[in-house]
């Protein structure tokens, strides 16, 4: 079920009313959330419910077994490893089997061995990477003794399948989300109102900004061999706003929706396009995934507390895995390696942890130096998104070569004028709100209720009448 659909417009109020006025006891609220979450997820294809149920059961049972083997670390480790292998095997078959089969066959043919890759006609389950990683974090944290094993199977099913963040994150940690299903919840009006604001801004980013950018981006990419370098740069910039508006818009809607049910989800985006270097960008972009890789892969590999060569190798591994997580295509791997290479100079100079606060804190405008840093970082990110958007490495290389031709300086705006205007509005609002949790957290800045309601109505009208044509969210495919 899509957030931006008529079905969800009916689904959400009905679930909200039943949740607070019928299922008032905690155990029934949790059970109800499991049921509606499975309805929400099964709306695409009911067969996928088997996979999420298996992932949930494997992780729940692993936690109980780890607890049962208290004091027997070898057995606990065996259970934890078995759960990781089982869940990653499901993910690997559905997401990566054809990719590796085709590439292995191509490698063998290059060595003179006749081989045909045996591929399978597999439909990728929506959001499988998200809920698999969320389930894995639980069993790993139980093994590490960061939290006790869950004994309430209904609460655990609710943790894995909670519908607002089920298919595109944030990828929650059991240490944050699971305890919230143990505690009684009461309706908090202020929390719900703020959740509605965040949802509204998320819908604006998705429906108005991302979907309008998508229309122009698709036109440019479909005929990129006929376009000027400037138009191709325009396409790259518009895709940069498309993927941000699409993905962070989903996160805003998910976080806001969860707050309607008394649940707090972690922040997933922190205005990443105001970053002053690539390291800061990755602290602000898809925070739930980058911190997941940091805590469950990077630090166990040794993190930054080892020889510099090892640190750089660990960093490259993280970025390559991050790229592959996004999809079974070499373009994603190259995209990850590209960001690792941008990261290395910052590590060598010791500036990768330099910027942790909001840019131009306490000032309305950035300095010339800060503006230059943000612009350079933004353009580097744009180049990366072009590789990410391409269907093949060859197409990405061709696109970039054509973009960097002399026609780059032939200024024209044949595509995306309206989308560019909406993106500029997004940037302006988020700049003014860059020290807030989300861009529509305006109750403190705009004191007059009438003026706040004018803002809300303008956004609602924008969503209704300025929406683009694309419906699905980009990150559903991951």
Nearest CA to 246 out of 7, 6, 8, 476 is that of 476
To the nearest 5 percent, what fractions of the chain are helix, strand and coil? 70, 0, 30
144 and 226 in a single domain? The answer is: no
- Of 186, 203, 233, the last residue of a domain is 186
Is residue 350, in this structure, part of any structural domain at all? no
27 and 164 in a single domain? The answer is: yes
List, in order, residues 6 or more apart from 147 with CB less than 8 Å away.
138, 141, 174, 175, 178, 179
| Coil, helix or strand at residue 300 | coil
Is residue 375, in this structure, part of any structural domain at all? yes
Tens-place pLDDT, residues 8-67: 999 999 999 999 999 989 999 999 999 999 999 999 888 889 999 999 999 999 999 999
CA distances from 300 to 216, 292, 296, 313 (A): 43, 12, 6, 13
Other C-beta atoms lying within 10 Å of the C-beta of residue 243: 19
Long-range Cβ pairs for the range 372-378 (8 Å, 24+) = 373/276, 373/277, 374/273, 374/274, 374/275, 374/276, 377/275, 377/276, 377/277, 377/278, 377/280, 377/281, 378/240, 378/273, 378/275
234 and 104 in a single domain? The answer is: no
Count of structural domains within the chain: 2
Other C-beta atoms lying within 10 Å of the C-beta of residue 163: 24
Residue in this structure with the two tokens 């529509």, named with its chain if needed: 440
Q: Give CA–CA dist 134/296, Å, rounded.
A: 12
170 and 216 in a single domain? The answer is: no
Q: What is the pLDDT of residue 118?
A: 65
Tens-place pLDDT, residues 152-192: 999 999 999 999 999 888 999 999 999 999 999 999 999 99
Q: Give CA–CA dist 265/257, Å, rounded.
A: 10
388 and 464 in a single domain? The answer is: yes
103 and 153 in a single domain? The answer is: yes
Looking at 183-285, list the stretches that DSSP marks H as alpha helix, in order from N- to C-terminal side. Answer: 189-203, 211-222, 229-260, 278-284
Taking 50 as the pLDDT cut, the residues of the chain under it are none
Encoding tokens for residue 154? 């209904």
Is residue 397, in this structure, part of any structural domain at all? yes
Question: What single-letter DSSP state applies at residue 69?
Answer: T
Longest Cα pair distance anywhere in the chain, in angstroms? 75
- Of 186, 210, 244, the last residue of a domain is 186
Q: What is the pLDDT of residue 346?
A: 94
13 and 150 in a single domain? The answer is: yes
* Chain mean position to CA 422: 22
Other C-beta atoms lying within 10 Å of the C-beta of residue 1: 15
Range of the domain at 360: 190-276+355-477
Is residue 207, in this structure, part of any structural domain at all? yes
Residue in this structure with the two tokens 């989800």, named with its chain if needed: 265
Q: What is the pLDDT of residue 168?
A: 86
Q: What is the pLDDT of residue 171?
A: 95
Q: Give CA–CA dist 161/21, Å, rounded.
A: 22
Q: What is the pLDDT of residue 115?
A: 66
Q: What is the pLDDT of residue 119?
A: 64
Indicate the Cα dihedral angle 323, 327, 330, 335, nearest 10°. -30
269 and 163 in a single domain? The answer is: no
10 and 147 in a single domain? The answer is: yes
Q: What is the pLDDT of residue 101?
A: 78
Encoding tokens for residue 39? 């309805």
Q: Give CA–CA dist 100/105, Å, rounded.
A: 8
242 and 164 in a single domain? The answer is: no
Encoding tokens for residue 243? 């993927």
23 and 140 in a single domain? The answer is: yes
Angle, vertex CA 242, rays to CA 239 and CA 246, nearest 5: 145
Contact 193, 215 (CB under 8 A): no
- Of 186, 205, 229, the last residue of a domain is 186
148 and 44 in a single domain? The answer is: yes
Q: Give CA–CA dist 108/103, Å, rounded.
A: 9
Provide the sign of the torsion angle of the four alpha carbons 301, 306, 307, 311, taken in this order. Answer: positive
Is residue 319, in this structure, part of any structural domain at all? no
Is residue 157, in this structure, part of any structural domain at all? yes
Is residue 315, in this structure, part of any structural domain at all? no
- Peptide bond connecting 467 to the previous residue in cis, omega within 30 degrees of 0: no
Encoding tokens for residue 144? 């590490």
3-state secondary structure 91-133: HHHHHHHHHHHHHHHHHHHHCCCCCCCCCCCCCCCCCHHHHHH
Angle, vertex CA 428, rays to CA 425 and CA 430, nearest 5: 105
Provide the sign of the torsion angle of the four alpha carbons 429, 430, 431, 437, taken in this order. Answer: positive
Is residue 212, in this structure, part of any structural domain at all? yes
Nearest CA to 143 out of 82, 89, 67, 57 is that of 67
326 is catalytic: yes
Q: What is the pLDDT of residue 117?
A: 58
Catalytic residue among 286, 326, 339, 438: 326
């Amino acid at each position: 079920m899509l957030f931006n659909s008529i079905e969800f417009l009916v689904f959400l109020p009905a679930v909200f009313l039943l949740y607070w006025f019928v299922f008032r006891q905690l155990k029934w609220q949790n059970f109800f959330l499991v049921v509606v979450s499975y309805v929400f997820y099964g709306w695409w294809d009911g067969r996928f419910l088997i996979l999420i149920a298996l992932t949930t059961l494997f992780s729940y049972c692993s936690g109980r077994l780890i607890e049962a083997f208290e004091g027997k670390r070898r057995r606990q480790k065996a259970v934890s490893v078995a759960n990781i292998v089982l869940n990653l095997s499901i993910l690997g078959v559905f997401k990566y089997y054809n990719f590796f089969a085709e590439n292995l066959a191509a490698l063998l043919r290059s060595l003179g061995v006749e081989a045909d890759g045996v591929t399978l006609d597999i439909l990728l389950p929506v959001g499988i990477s998200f809920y698999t990683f969320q389930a894995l974090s639980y069993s790993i944290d139980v093994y590490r003794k960061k939290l006790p094993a869950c004994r309430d199977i209904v609460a655990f099913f609710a943790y894995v399948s909670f519908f607002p963040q089920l298919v595109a994150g944030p990828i929650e940690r059991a240490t944050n989300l699971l305890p919230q299903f143990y505690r009684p919840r009461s309706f908090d009006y202020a929390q719900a109102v703020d959740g509605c604001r965040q949802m509204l801004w998320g819908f604006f980013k998705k429906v108005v900004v991302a979907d309008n950018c998508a229309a122009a981006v698709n036109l440019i990419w479909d005929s990129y061999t006929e376009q000027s370098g400037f138009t191709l740069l325009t396409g790259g910039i518009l895709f940069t706003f498309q993927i941000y508006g699409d993905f962070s818009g989903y996160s805003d809607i998910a976080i806001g929706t969860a707050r309607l049910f008394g649940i707090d989800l972690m922040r997933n985006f922190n205005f990443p396009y105001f970053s002053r270097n690539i390291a800061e960008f990755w602290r602000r972009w898809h925070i739930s995934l980058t911190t997941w890789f940091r805590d469950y892969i990077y630090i166990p590999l040794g993190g930054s507390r080892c020889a510099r060569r090892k640190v750089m190798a660990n960093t490259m591994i993280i970025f390559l895995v991050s790229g592959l997580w996004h999809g079974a295509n070499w373009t994603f791997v190259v995209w990850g390696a590209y960001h690792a290479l941008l990261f290395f100079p910052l590590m060598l100079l010791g500036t990768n942890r330099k910027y942790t606060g909001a840019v131009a804190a306490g000032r309305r405008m950035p300095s010339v130096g800060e503006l230059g840093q943000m612009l350079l970082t933004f353009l580097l990110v744009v180049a990366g998104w072009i590789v990410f958007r391409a269907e093949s490495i060859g197409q990405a290389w061709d696109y970039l070569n054509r973009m960097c031709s002399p026609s780059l300086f032939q200024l024209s705006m044949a595509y995306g004028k309206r989308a560019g205007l909406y993106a500029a509005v997004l940037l302006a609002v988020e700049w003014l709100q860059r020290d807030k949790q989300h861009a529509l957290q305006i109750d403190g800045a705009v004191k007059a209720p009438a003026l706040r309601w004018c803002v809300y109505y303008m956004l609602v009208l924008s969503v209704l009448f300025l929406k683009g044509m694309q419906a699905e969210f980009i990150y559903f495919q991951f």
